[in-house]
Structure 1
Amino acid sequence: MNELEPFDLSQEVVEIATDRLAENIVLLDLQEQAILTDYFVLMTCNSARHTEALAYDLEMLLDQKGCKLLHSEGVPISGWVVLDYGAVVIHLFQEEQRDYYNLENIWSRASQVVRIL
């Protein structure tokens, strides 16, 4: 169980990603479109090493706030890592994979709560 409410958790993720120099950070509100999660946080990392470091930092810093990672998927070298916190799912992409999977288009009916370029 997470100590933070889903929206607060998603905001914390955006702050950490911004501090760790992720690019094109988007927070999508999926509460009206999905039943398995409330928010997606999408971000672009500039390398596999950046992806790995940011995923690690997110997991450690969120754990310190009482938020437990339920599942992770992918490896940094693949260009896409997913961190599942239940009501908040974090997608760390490298640019090529983000363009290819285009989750913003798939979930185009979701509200964009935050967009930081």
Structure 2
Amino acid sequence: VAVAPDGATIVTGSWDKTARVWNRSTGELINTLEGHTAGVTSVAVAPDGETIVTGSRDKTARVWNRSTGELINTLEGHTDGVTSVAVAPDGETIVTGSNDATARVWNRSTGELINTLEGHT
């Protein structure tokens, strides 16, 4: 679960392979983000409130437009499920954690892998 910086939007991830975007005040479903091939384990909202990142057991993270539901990028490189996602305050850096014992740093706009952090067991 993640809450947008303005507090008006909530994002949830589910084992049904989707993430859903909700209006906090009304409970209305704004968008359903579909594309993962396994359960969504983690979600984050960027500081701009318009970019959503989802992580999944399908070993990918995906970057979405909150308003349109459009897929912006798929971040591929983990060898096991993605268990956590975060967006840096600059809004351009995404960090993912995985059961493959790595954290990976990505460029939000290009989807480019910037760095792989290894050492956890």
Q: Same fold (TM over 0.5)?
A: no
Which has more radius of gyration? Answer: 2
User: TM-score by structure 1 length?
Assistant: 0.29
**RCO greater where, 1 or 2, for CA within 8 Å and sep 6 or more?**
1
Relative to its length, the structure with more strand (as a share) is 2
